[in-house]
Amino acid sequence: MSAEASGIMRGPFSLAGEEELRTVIAGAGFREITIRSKTGTVRFPSAARLVQDYAAGSPLAGHVAKISDEARAALVKEVGEALQSYVVGGALAFPIEAHLASAKK
């Protein structure tokens, strides 16, 4: 995958810190900012399905579509190896945290 694709992959997680998120919201003129964290579980039938679904529903779709079958298989293998500790009974389940913000303008 290209450096551009790697950047796209990190994009959804770019405001992972609560204070950074608060700063961006305040900078947009909002006040009475409340941020709470929520942890959930992401589930996929397999690492291959995670790669397929995540890529299809993101700006990565074009990048993944352009790579060879061998490169795609290598990507699935690498993701599967990295997430192996989250595989139970062949299915993939891992925790994810989101910050939920509310504010007044």
Could you tell me the mean pLDDT of each successive run of 10 residues in the chain, 105 residues long? 65 80 96 96 91 80 83 88 91 92 96
The single residue listed with the structure tokens 């997430």 is 83
Domain count, the chain: 1
Structure tokens at 51: 């790669």
Residue 42 β-bridge partners: 94
Residue 8: how many CB atoms within 10 A of its CB? 17
Amino acid 3: pLDDT: 67
Q: Secondary structure of the chain: what % helix, strand, coil (to 5)?
A: 50, 30, 20
Q: What is the DSSP annotation of 59-99?
A: TTHHHHHHS-HHHHHHHHHHHHHHTGGGEETTEEEEEEEEE
Residues spanned by the domain of 18:
3-104
pTM for the model stands at 0.67
